[in-house]
Amino acid sequence: MNSENYKNLIKNNRKGKDIFFKQNFQSPIPQEERSNFLKLNYYEPDLRYRFELELEEFAHKKK
């Protein structure tokens, strides 16, 4: 994924979270305060904190 797509993915996820906080019945924001909620404050996506790696399943799982 290129840098611009990564930034757009982060921004879209944030928009979804803001909509959830404003509209969803499971929002942590009390119902009476949601009409005043606009969005969370975020830092701009910083590519220095982006990691791409392969995950490996652990062979010896505890049950």
Locate the domains of the chain by residue range.
3-49
7-55 pLDDT, tens digit each = 999 999 999 999 999 999 999 999 999 999 999 999 998 889 888 889 9
Which residue, chain included where needed, has tokens 């757009």?
A: 8
Does the pLDDT value for residue 63 go beyond 80? Answer: no
How many CB atoms within 10 Å of residue 61? 6
- Whole-prediction pTM value? 0.73
Say what the pLDDT of residue 29 is: 97
d(CA 31, CA 35): 8
The SS3 assignment for 49 reads helix
Q: Which residue has the higher pLDDT, 9 or 59?
A: 9
| Cα–Cα distance for residue pair 26/42, rounded to 1 Å | 21
The closest alpha carbon to 17, from 32, 9, 35, belongs to 9
Cα 35 to Cα 60: distance, rounded to the nearest angstrom: 50
Please tell me the predicted confidence (pLDDT) of residue 50: 87
